[in-house]
Chain A
Amino acid sequence: MILILGGFYCVMGILPLFFGNTAHIMNILIMILIWAVVASCWDVIMGFAGIFSFGQVAFYVIGAYAGAILSVSLDIPPVFAIIVAGVVTGMLGVLVGLPCLKLAGPYVALVTFAVHMTLIPFLKGPLGRAIGSGGSQGILTIPPINLLGFAFSSEQLVPFFYLTLFLTIICTLILALIIKSYWGTAFLALKDSENFATSLGISAFRYKLMVFAITSFITGLFGALYAHYVGMLSTKMLSMDVFTILMIMMVIGGIGKYPGVVVGAVITVTISQLLAPLGMYRPLIMGAMVVILVLFLRDGVIGLAQKISPLQRKFG
């Protein structure tokens, strides 16, 4: 696992040397890094902890809006705004997670998805405008990240790319550590048989709440990072095709096959960028892709690789 991830980030780290001047490709690379982490968080919560959370995009958007509102309305320096946004999202994650702990699988999907759907009227309506979401117009003037007098603006993509890469590696390490540690095993045990796991003294309450807190913290952090990268936000981020893109990453990577989603993110972001000129047909194709991939690509690329390669244990 570490091998695949290490190789991936090394390749990502070298790529700007060749494409540093092409803004279009740099944009794709940055988006791959951001989505890879967001999708990894979803994989941890859904594939490892076995919680059917459909609120991942919602947390991402909450983080983005929180970061933007903090730095636009309250004039907090973006670096702190991003961290505070992560903390806020983490707390909201716990708040959403609390009622979900008592509920059975599909109910959790429903509640988290309902949070997603409620965010749209909330952010567009007077309640959202009151906290500075800018209504249906969105937030347009988000300042770039400023670190020790150096501005990571969207004109210079290479420094921002390395900043993102740095954050990505830290968050990936955290997630990998969680998966490999006692916690990861506890998640798996809870997913496989909650009754048996609790009988061995694993607290379902504590671990499930923890997984909500950590994944939503990291997701919120990257949401805020994204907000400061693009400089403007609108509720379009909550549309179904964004959700579907994230889902395709999961399906391509394989649910619960951790480094798989990172590969899924690379493939999906590239495909989605290539399909961008198709306009309205893009979501149509994306939707069809989900249906076909779920039906035929059972365990994602990792499952496929396991079938073909004799080195099965390596990916576990």
Chain B
Amino acid sequence: MTVHGTETAPPVAGTTGAGGRREETPTRIFFRKPLAIVFLVVMALMTLVALLGPVFGGDPVSTAHPPMQPPSAAYPLGTDHLGRDFLARVLHGGRLSLFVGFAVALLSMTLGVLIGGLAGYYGGVIDVALVKVIEFFQAIPGLVLVLVAAAILGANIFIIIAIMGLTGWPGVARIMRAEAARVAQLGYVEFARAAGFPGRRILVSDVLPNSMAPVVVSTTMTVGMAILAESGLAFLGIGDANRATWGSLLNDAQPYLNSAWWMALFPGICIFVVVLAVNMIGDALNDALNPTIGRVK
């Protein structure tokens, strides 16, 4: 027979943290990513520019400048076909895009959280009915409908926000529903229910905070999608004709691709950078809020 273990007594068994022994909070994981911080700063800067653009950006409608000037010291981004300072137009153009992005995301999130939360938490008939509604909104060609509705109802910015918000919530609702259903099963929520706390209060105070992580990630991504969609609509000429947005600047630019490349380049870069920043932040949030072991196999 064999003889085992000639060495001294080991420590009590259990998980031994090798490497970082500090607790891994989402915030810490998020801020460990240099890219996430970079894009957070970029996003903050772009938001600041969009907010302050109208203040220091100069006059975006004055046609007092020579038309079709390439970028120069006097006109850092050149001038457009009507002799308007393009820098001023780009600075003004961000405001609406960002506003639409955040407003749509907020609206989608609110609707999604509300509908998904109710379905997941209460289950039963309510769930079945709401899931049907969710499935319907996921199956309809949302983008096409937004286009049609905006075209027929007129290009009021609030109508556009409302329609995009109305078609954008099912993704959040699905996540929220799954989370709420899971949380509703947890011991302490059942306990709270058994203890006689009203359902609505439990939903708000217990289910919501626990379900927020994936919802926040999805909402972040919605901001990017909404900005892209708004620019697309504006590019097609659907939008407030009196207000320059990055999308409508690109609409202006297309006929002059041969002669005024700057008119197409800069607004596009702005949309791209903002959407990229939002998506990168969302990606980093996702990694931070849903840490996985990574690939073990």
A and B interact physically: no
Instruction: Write the residues of chain A forming the contact surface with B, with a CB cutoff of 8 angstroms.
Output: none
Instruction: Write the residues of chain B forming the contact surface with A, with a CB cutoff of 8 angstroms.
Output: none
